[in-house]
A and B are shown apart, each in its own frame.
Chain A
């Protein structure tokens, strides 16, 4: 057992948790202390550098720090017409949040019926024994967000949850529970930010999602923290019959960012699409572990992750697809493509396919490559310098995925920001805007 584990548990004493969550917390505390701290020999943590976190002093909850979103971060929010919830250092910032509809409630404000629903699902979708930090999230669970869409309803606006860390050495536990009943539909954006000056902060986030029969969810998880942030998080999803999940993950990189996706097809005919982009630079670390489990027949999974790793950054991608012997007629595809832009950049990618059924169609592939020289020559032959061509091609590599983002506000927010990371000129976006206008015959 590590110092980090002990410190983490000592911190719980500083909380004044909701009493009806105590049994989950207590059980998780025991489990957390019973698990070994991951080392280089622990399979799922093999490449994740944990030394930094181990040295982090967990001595203060974010509650001791700033609880109001500052001006600079306000400008970083996505301008989307949505029900917005802002948490600053783990504390709800009512001033910058919307009035909540009945479908969205904080755990601390839940009525008896909602508490019963939370108790039914919270900690039950997640498979804690495989996910150390999900266990920690259970041990720390306090306030959180419940989104419950009743049968045959549809959220009239997306829910936009913003979690920011602004304080030095602040610890923040972030929890989201999404329950979509039969035939319901929702769109949910989780956005993680931090102030530029945050040192040694640690955020532990966990999202559990239950998709009932024929439910439909669009889910975005955007990790856009600054250089020195440390974030470990997970998204666990159960899909029932004919449910549909469309997920998008983004990590720009921080000193440590690890996110696990655990996706379970539990009802026939369920479909999921998961796309992800990671762009670590400097000495950042990004680690995505995804595990898609097909337990039943006739489900479809399509997963595409792409990363560009620069400078001395490190990316880890582990994509597992497990197909149970009962899961006949499964269609599953996984692709992970990486580009390294420096000799010191590092990628560890591992696609894993475990198939125990005989009538399935599966494909997986992982590549690490340089830019396409044919494409570069083509652009140069039209007058672009090699450097300009490389910028255009690198951005194109991830823009292919950005173009598929269904929510226009998210797309329009991300595209210029990521383009800027590539040192690209924004007037090019202006060209696209004008192209739209041209269709309306307003110019020319």
Chain B
């Protein structure tokens, strides 16, 4: 009996392993059935993800605040004095305002360059269990979204559409460690390749050593053939450190990406770009210091009374 049970267990294990290997083989050979099944799963999940996003938005804001606890200690002290009702209202209002501001800024950005875009809400952040940095958006093939389209945030490049389903799409973020984009430096037109590093800091590798890259240089997307995966002229980030070591063949630099990936709420997928390259039109304007008004007081002594 015991031997029979052991034999049955082994047989079951072998069947399961062979099935798994069979699925891997089918998938690697590009059998459409499995790909369609993955797409179907995403179509089923997207309404739940959308609902989860709506319900959890206040909690997400709470967790976001927690991660910045050290930096905003003073602000938190002030907030403690406010009552619970006002806090709840503020969180809801903040969320709506942030989404509105993001949307407005994205529209401004896309309008300046003449991009044809479709707006989308972020309905899920990808799990890190598979070591990829992704988001799911609520726009899919029905909204005109296709694979390998550029995704914009309010500040610039957010990522690229990796997979697309009927009502949702999976976006690979610029922070993903497999993410690579051809860039040019605004002004000098020097070109290079930017790679995601898992954080908001990305790595830049320049193609040649003829010109120098400087701290503060602004990077824009170089654009791809037929504008996919990248449309030209999208602000990507700015240089924060330059590696000028003599041993390196080409210059490399560290780049701070414009997009704040932890607060992505609304994004835009670029469906089409104008024939004219927008050039440096989208280079972010540096904030101008607000002049401090000075007040000069002239004191005129009152005439002393003469007798």
Interaction A to B: no
